[in-house]
Amino acid sequence: MPNIITTSPSAFEMAFPAIVIGGGATGLSAALALRDRGVEVLVLERDRTPLGSTAMSTGLIPAAGTPEQRAAGIDDSPERFAADMLDKTKGRTDAEIALRLAEQSADTVAWLRDGHGVPLELVDGFLYPGHSARRMYGTPHRSGGELMGALEAAGARAEVTLLTEATVEGLHADGDRVTGVRIRRPDGAEEDIGCEALILACSGFGGNGEMVRRFIPEMEGAVFHGHPGNKGDAVAWGEALGASTADMSGYQGHGGLAAGHGVPILWPLIVEGGFQANARGERFSNEAAGYSEQAAKVNAQPGGVAWSIFDERLHRLMLQFDDYRDALSAGAVIEAADEAALAGATGLPGDVLAATIAGVANMVAGHEEDAFGRDFTGKPLLAAPYRAAKVTGALFHTQGGLVVDGDARVLRPDGTPLPNLFAGGGAARGVSGPGADGYLAGNGLLTATTFGKLAGFAAAALLAA
């Protein structure tokens, strides 16, 4: 259980100017920023290999107003990106923080790529729900594992000190000023390490069933497909030090986790023309509104499952994603020569499924309005052979957390910053508002990499003052 140890040792046997708890995208971005300023930093990671939710992700990071966008003729700006975040949350996020992150986003991608060798390129071919411009950057295989590998290699080059199998169990504090941390090693040994600035990069609370029940009851019992080591420690420590929290009910869900396989069937195949049908063979929602809010909608269907139905064109689009190729290898995607074979392979009632496919074709042609409000026009008709995957709704990542300012400083309820505490990524309140529907694709790694970078630079400035 995370705790605060108020009887601070007067002198720690070992001390670093800056400590970062958590070795995911947030922690490694923060550490790189600190090393850019010449600060010695210790990253503490509970696992043997730093992976986190970052390694499970698709690794897509949004950036607005980049030179690559301009070269591709894409009209975008930080203001436009911030407006998209506000629209997706229906105004239920902090507009200043959204703009700050959007303004920093292009710099973050360029800093990681050009400054630290993380291979990020502008992704083409689809637009995630809520984004008004193509602004996603990804690694060559669109993989969070690849992103983590590159961040770790960058950390090694920058001489970041990374200690793995080091679970932080408590913080030392003098009042609300953090003076150090207590770690536990796999053999049970405890060590105390001092610091002058602490960055909480130990993510959210998706791996803490009790907190999920309390704050996100609609996902109680849903599959959690995020990092199990993220147990809400940052929130517990922050609150004990007098910090404010917000949007604790906000989360990133996904309405397309391959049932029984645990591989995400990603949303480009939906937004580019695919659809979902329930066990009755009927559509039940506007799937294109967003994959996050779709999780609870899928779970409300008979058996808590749905079929994502698409075709050969969309199958080819999806082949760029490691996740999709993993789904193919796992046998999670079926292929069917025609509608009758699709009904046979999925077990969906053939007459209803045929009517649903015909209805989608009518909406693509603009002859019919969708009862759920989706606009199917502008996308090609689905055509045989078909592909389909049986999916369920999952919790990927929590979005609520410690309230931070534009420099990732953790704030008290009166808006003043704690003396030397910073947070980013899943540890901090994100920009997704209080529900699942406010999650705009990329919000997770935007807040991880950009708040991580800002926290590192701000901590370095504090140490230099």
Ligand X SMILES: Cc1cc2nc3c(=O)[nH]c(=O)nc-3n(C[C@H](O)[C@H](O)[C@H](O)COP(=O)(O)OP(=O)(O)OC[C@H]3O[C@@H](n4cnc5c(N)ncnc54)[C@H](O)[C@@H]3O)c2cc1C
233 binding ligand X? (CB under 6 A): yes
238 binding ligand X? (CB under 6 A): no
226 binding ligand X? (CB under 6 A): yes
The single residue among 47, 84, 196, 247 that binds ligand X, judged by CB under 6 A, is 47
139 binding ligand X? (CB under 6 A): no
User: Given the complex with ligand X, which of 151 and 343 has the nearer CB atom?
Assistant: 151
Residue type, 27: G
Token pair recorded at residue 2? 């995370």
198 binding ligand X? (CB under 6 A): no
Contact positions with ligand X (CB under 6 A) in 168-187:
168
Binding mask 383-402 for ligand X (x = CB under 6 A): -------------xx-----
229 binding ligand X? (CB under 6 A): yes
The CB-of-103 to ligand X minimum distance in angstroms stands at 17
78 binding ligand X? (CB under 6 A): no
User: Given the complex with ligand X, which of 198 and 314 has the nearer CB atom?
Assistant: 198
8 binding ligand X? (CB under 6 A): no
Binding mask 50-69 for ligand X (x = CB under 6 A): xxxxx-xxxxxx--------
User: Given the complex with ligand X, which of 441 and 462 has the nearer CB atom?
Assistant: 441
Let me know: does 199 contact 459? Beta carbons within 8 Å.
Answer: yes
429 binding ligand X? (CB under 6 A): no
Total residues interacting with ligand X, rule: CB under 6 A: 45
The CB-of-273 to ligand X minimum distance in angstroms stands at 21
Residues that bind ligand X (CB under 6 A): 21-27, 44-47, 50-54, 56-61, 167-168, 201-203, 225-227, 229-230, 233, 252, 264, 396-397, 425-426, 442-446, 448
